[in-house]
Amino acid sequence: MGEPWSSSIRSPMGPSVETSITLFLMPHVPWNLLNLDRAHLSTVKKLSENGKLSKFWIQELTRPAFEDWVENEAAPVAIIGIGSIEQHGPHLPLGMDSLAARYFIHEIASKSNSVCVHPCWPGYSPHHMKFRGTITFSEDTLLNVILDTISSLADHGIKRFMLTNHHGGNAEIYKLAMRMAKRYYNVMVASPTGPSGTELAKKQADISKRHWDVHSGINETAAALVMFPELVEMYRLEGWKPTLDLGPELNKYFDVDRDDYEIVSQVRGACTPPVNIDFTKDGIYGTGDPNLADAEEYAKRLKERVDFMVEFIRVWKTIPIPPAFLD
């Protein structure tokens, strides 16, 4: 233990209260005397060896590990995920979309030897701002975050980018970023979706359609219960009743069994208010009870999706870089 040093400081409780503290000044101690086992450290698994990663988040890699991956992985792929920080009803975390994006892209990266990147927590969410806790970027900010991320990694030699978006409000900006990156940075950009033909996929799509299950409803609650159940407060849904209300005329257009549903559902969309608190008081878009969320079933659907993305990357890597993308 080093030499003690004592002093009195004024307490924030007031000038009449003083607190005595004692600090021990530690002399320089060589790292090998601090119970660190040099032999053990030398056997720690390398972050990347001959292009094979043991960690997949870019922020967890050393520079040499990243360089080893870029130089020795035959077709390096960077997976970029974006989401949001916004209200997700009374029971789901504000970071639902970004937390889900992070979980999803790491699962894919770890099974495909890819690097995953989550460049920002917020997304484009002005329509949620009437609910406290929401943070929104402007359109330009989100667009530039995505483009600058791709541009930076392209400068380091990456030609293949997979983007995944977990927030509907980002959709148009996200699609524009993909087109701009491909044109201006001379890189391939993919955003695969699927599989869509499985029984689980069809069931999930039917729930979305039948209950307008868009936000914080049955499907999204199931996702959260699989990926981060410790952040879900299901007790807040006790006695839940839907607050979704577009008015008597538009409410009739939620009926998926109508012969003219293809038309009236789009009319409903055109008439939906731009600020969501005007049509849902609790922040849940949907008429289906989130208490019906089936975590076990969603876990199977998630595995389907991850396996699909991993197979997409495997096939993509077999294709030589097209001449148009060569420097």
- In this structure, the chain runs to a length of 327
Q: What is the pLDDT of residue 30?
A: 58
Question: Among 118, 117, 107, 113, which residue's Cα sits nearest to residue 49?
Answer: 113
Question: Among 313, 315, 276, which residue's Cα sits nearest to residue 136?
Answer: 276
Tokens found for residue 250:
């538009």
Q: Are the CB atoms for 92 and 240 separated by under 8 Å?
A: no
Q: What is the pLDDT of residue 10?
A: 46
Q: What is the pLDDT of residues 53-82, one digit of tens each?
A: 999 999 999 999 999 999 999 999 999 999
Q: What is the pLDDT of residue 260?
A: 97
Measured in degrees and rounded to the nearest 5, phi and psi for residue 24 equal -105, 120
The residues spanned by each domain of the chain are: 46-196+301-319, 206-299
For the residues of 284-319, what is the DSSP string, one character each?
A: -B-SS-GGG--HHHHHHHHHHHHHHHHHHHHHHHTS
CATH class assigned to 46-196+301-319: alpha beta
Q: What is the pLDDT of residue 27?
A: 55
Q: What is the pLDDT of residue 23?
A: 43
Element holding 147 (H helix, E strand): helix 139-155
Q: Are the CB atoms for 90 and 282 separated by under 8 Å?
A: yes
Q: What is the pLDDT of residue 327?
A: 79
Cα 290 from Cα 242, distance rounded (Å): 10
Residues in the chain predicted with pLDDT less than 50, given as ranges, are: 5-26
Element holding 264 (H helix, E strand): helix 261-271
Q: Are the CB atoms for 147 and 177 separated by under 8 Å?
A: yes
Start-end of H helices in 24-95: 38-42, 63-72
